[in-house]
Amino acid sequence: MAEVIRMPRMSDTMEEGNIVGWLKEEGDHVEPGETLAEVETDKATMELDSFLEGVLLHIAVKEGPVPINGVIAVIGKKGEDWKAAVQAAEAGGDGDGNGVDTSEGTTEAETPRSEPNISTSPEPAAGDPSGQRIKASPLARNMAQEAGIDLANIQGSGDHGRIVRRDVEEFLEQGSGQPSPQPTAVPESKPAAKAEPAKTEPEVVPFSYTGGGENYTEKAVSQMRKTIARRLAESKFSAPHFYLTIEVDMEQAVEWRQRLNEVSPTKLSFNDLVIKAVATSLRQHPAVNSSWLGDKIRTNRDVHIGVAVAVDEGLVVPVVRFADIKTLSQINLEV
């Protein structure tokens, strides 16, 4: 009978595996010990070997993340019904089916939001002889009020004839929105009214963008980066954080390191000196070397120092155990 291959737990902290690629294809004969695929875990990329002999009847997940115990393939005799094996595995409840990530890989383009409609009111708006409330956006109303424009004279271009900002701006550009000139005995005063503030206002072109939705790029993260993000978030919310900061004059340390490197079997770095100094300080101040356990505080007698090291795909933290009793050369070999 055909048997399903599930995603194994390859490390203690592994919650899912990311299939990078298959080294076997459907229809290939498989021997025990042969490598089927490469799987990326939260620690490293590892090879997934077969413990069965037969034909690779079906590959459930070509590439991508699969939870622990999720079905990834079916091995059996040539011509066997692999679908029945998958259905039986799903019915058993031990796995998560084919483990395919059903989340959408793409983001729908954002559609421009239309401005909200203003509901009509029985109260007539000022300047509207029909007695009906003029539909206009709040911004358009403010602009018209500041310019002394009667909204009843503006033709709206928005939804259901609603007056929006651009309608008021176009009305002002046409010069129709100027306040009525005050009576005067000088005939020339009427043309002069056309040069009022509307024409002297700064000509700011309204911003218009027709490029569609937001522009962005997305890149799938590795299992290592997922684990780093999850662990950092967990530590931030599960343990109290405090920070100790001091300034140190390293002039003598620089000279001391030069003398040590003349006789040391390894080339010592400043990181080695800092690790040793921190470890020695923790031995002298044991209260700092403590852990929060919820209902009690544990004071650690041993001194272990974690050192964050950046790599191409993320961050790893090798732990130098018993750093307070190790030599600088021994610390250097472990970091």
Residue by residue, pLDDT tens for the chain (335 residues) are: 789 999 998 877 788 899 988 999 999 999 998 889 989 887 778 889 998 999 999 999 999 999 999 999 999 998 888 988 888 888 875 443 333 333 333 333 343 343 434 333 333 444 455 556 677 776 778 788 888 888 888 888 876 677 887 888 888 888 754 444 444 444 555 555 555 555 566 777 787 777 667 778 888 888 888 888 888 888 887 777 878 888 889 999 999 999 999 998 889 999 999 999 999 999 999 999 998 888 899 999 999 999 988 877 777 888 999 999 999 999 999 88
Distance (Å, rounded) from C-alpha 96 to C-alpha 289? 43
- Determine the pLDDT at residue 127: 46
- 3-state SS, residue 272: helix
Helix (H) or strand (E) holding 66: strand 64-67
- In this prediction, residue 102 carries a pLDDT of 32
The residue ranges of every structural domain in the chain are: 3-92, 113-204, 239-334
Decide if 74 contacts 86 (C-beta within 8 A).
yes
Q: Any idea what the Cα angle at residue 8 is, between residues 6 and 9, rounded to 5°?
A: 150
Check if CATH label 4.10.320.10 holds for domain 113-204.
Answer: yes
The span from the CA of 36 to the CA of 46, in Å, is 11
CATH architecture assignment, domain 239-334 = 2-Layer Sandwich (3.30)
Measuring CA to CA, which residue among 254, 298, 300 is closest to residue 274?
254
Strand order in the sheet with 71-76: 3-6, 71-76, 54-59, 29-30
Angle of helix 165-173 versus helix 138-147 axis, rounded to 10: 30
Q: Whole-angstrom Cα distance, residue 331 to residue 305?
A: 10
User: What class, spelled out in words, does domain 3-92 have in CATH?
Assistant: mainly beta
Q: Are 7 and 67 in contact (CB under 8 A)?
A: yes
pLDDT given at position 261 = 92
Q: Are 305 and 278 in contact (CB under 8 A)?
A: yes
Biggest CA–CA distance in the chain, Å, is 109
Predicted pLDDT of residue 112 = 39
Contacts of 137 (CB under 8 A, 6+ apart): 115, 118, 158, 162, 163, 164, 165
> DSSP assignment of 1-58, as one string?
--EEEE----STT-SEEEEEEESS-TT-EE-TT-EEEEEE-SS-EEEEE--S-EEEEE
Q: How far apart are the first and last CA of the chain?
A: 50
* pTM for the predicted model, two decimal places: 0.40
Token pair, residue 178, equals: 């100027």
C-beta of residue 90 within 8 angstroms of C-beta of residue 71: yes
What is the structure's pLDDT at 331?
Answer: 93
Q: How do residues 291-308 score in pLDDT, each as one tens digit? A: 888 889 999 999 999 998
- 263 secondary structure, DSSP code: T
Q: For residue 44, what are its two tokens?
A: 């490293």
pLDDT of residue 149: 85
Tell me, what's the pLDDT at 135? 77
Residue 50: both structure tokens together: 């077969």
